[in-house]
Amino acid sequence: MFLTGEFSQISRVSKRLLHYYDEIGLLKPARIDPHTGYRYYSATQLPRLNRILALKDLGLTLDHIAGMMQADVSDEEIHGMLLMKKAELEQTLREDVQRLRGIDYTSSALPLDQGHSSITGRDASARPAGAAHPPVQGRPADPRPFRRHRLYRWFRTYEQ
């Protein structure tokens, strides 16, 4: 039997995650000491935890994983579910690619006339949010963004 901290080190998950999985009933400790409240985990629980983590990494929700664990789903059924999840992700990807193509097509087809965007009506030559400020009078604008970098400021303090 391992205490929560020991089991978390062996399984490479946080103690907090083990406590959360206990709260939601996904991975209950093998034993809880009635006097101290310490949770003890068994080495035989490692495969279950690894399965939970693998399914979570594949994008399944904890509710789905809990249902699968309670129903003691076979490996073949998990394989089928993963194929369904893959098809779902592929469909989402296709839809996102279509949206991206639509954006590319629309942005290339929009005419920009007289410096104004036909979408926003704003001056297209205006400085976008987050752009560099106009140069101070008597000083040229700095084309190098490195000047804003922390190392540049550090070197400048020791140069002077």
Domain architecture of the chain: domains with CATH: 2-76 (1.10.1660.10)
pLDDT by residue (tens digit) across 113-160?
A: 555 555 555 554 555 555 555 555 555 555 555 444 555 454 555 554
**pLDDT for position 127:** 54
Sign of torsion over alpha carbons 31, 69, 50, 92 = negative
d(CA 7, CA 50): 12
Low-confidence ranges of the chain (pLDDT < 50): 124, 146-148, 152, 154, 160
The reply to whether the predicted model has a pTM over 0.85 is no
**pLDDT for position 146:** 46
Tell me the residue type at 149: H
DSSP readout, the chain? -EEHHHHHHHHT--HHHHHHHHHTTSS--SEE-TTT--EEE-GGGHHHHHHHHHHHHTT--HHHHHHHHHTT--HHHHHHHHHHHHHHHHHHHHHHHHHHHHHHHHHHH--EETTEETTT-SBTTSPPTTPPPPPPTTS-----GGGGSHHHHHHHHHH-
The upper half-sphere exposure of residue 97, i.e. CA atoms within 13 Å in the direction of its Cβ, equals 6
